[in-house]
């Protein structure tokens, strides 16, 4: 509405970011650790998100070609969001975030458990060889 009235606007979409307010809940932290295995999802560090979002804000406020400039023609008002999107892969992935949350947690724990599983399998192989079970 503000853009239609001639105001320059900035409404950009930030990516999933591992801020303290998000990862303090351990389930989110676990899911965020596993999400990069679902390409092209990427979880960004707060400094990266802040830098890019600040650059997009300055672009919107200062560049006449910005989608936030009321003189730039848009075919649909929602294009305002797509042109300034820094979505971390969420719009290009075959999966929705809601559908891979649990799987991301399992991937994370699988990665954490891998060294321990290797030790158990190795110890089992040694025990089998020692007791002549193989």
Does the pLDDT at position 119 exceed 90? no
Percent of the chain residues topping a pLDDT of 90? 33
Residue 61's pLDDT is 94
Q: Full-prediction pTM beyond 0.85?
A: no
So what's the pLDDT on residue 31? 86
Would you say residue 11 lies in a domain?
no
Q: Locate 13 and state its tokens.
A: 């979409």
pLDDT at 118 over 60: yes
pLDDT band at 105 (very low <50, low <70, confident <90, very high): confident
Token digits of residue 38:
């679902």
Please say whether the beta carbons of 49 and 86 come within 8 A: yes
Angle at 116 (CA atoms; ends 30, 103), nearest 5 degrees? 30
Task: Indicate whether 38 belongs to any domain.
Answer: yes
Q: Is residue 6 part of a domain?
A: no
Give 17's DSSP letter: B
| Domain count for the chain | 1
Q: Among 24, 23, 18, 26, which residue's Cα sits nearest to residue 44?
A: 18
Dihedral sign of CA atoms 66, 69, 93, 104 in order: positive
Q: What is the pLDDT of residues 28-84, one digit of tens each?
A: 888 888 888 888 888 899 999 999 999 999 999 999 999 999 999 999 988 888 887
The domain in which residue 115 lies consists of 20-130
Rounded to an integer, what distance in angstroms lies between the CA atom of residue 134 and that of residue 131?
8
Task: Determine, yes or no, domain membership for 40.
Answer: yes
Average pLDDT, the chain: 87
Considering the domain boundaries, does residue 58 fall inside one? yes
Q: Is residue 9 part of a domain?
A: no
3-state secondary structure of 109: helix
Q: Say if 106 falls within a structural domain.
A: yes
Q: Residue 134: its pLDDT value, please?
A: 57
Residue 13 lies in a domain: no
Side-chain half-sphere exposure of 11, counting CA atoms within 13 A = 16
């Amino acid at each position: 509405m503000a853009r239609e009235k001639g105001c320059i606007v900035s409404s950009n979409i930030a990516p999933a970011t591992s801020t303290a307010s998000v990862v303090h809940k351990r389930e989110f932290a676990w899911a965020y650790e596993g999400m990069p295995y679902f390409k092209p999802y990427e979880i960004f560090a707060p400094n990266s998100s802040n830098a890019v979002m600040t650059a997009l804000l300055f672009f919107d406020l200062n560049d006449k070609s910005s989608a936030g400039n009321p003189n730039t023609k848009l075919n649909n008002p929602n294009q305002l969001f797509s042109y300034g999107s820094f979505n971390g892969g969420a719009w290009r992935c075959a999966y929705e975030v809601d559908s891979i949350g649990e799987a991301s947690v399992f991937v994370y724990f699988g990665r954490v458990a891998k060294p321990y599983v290797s030790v158990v399998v190795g110890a089992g192989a040694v025990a089998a060889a020692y007791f002549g079970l193989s």
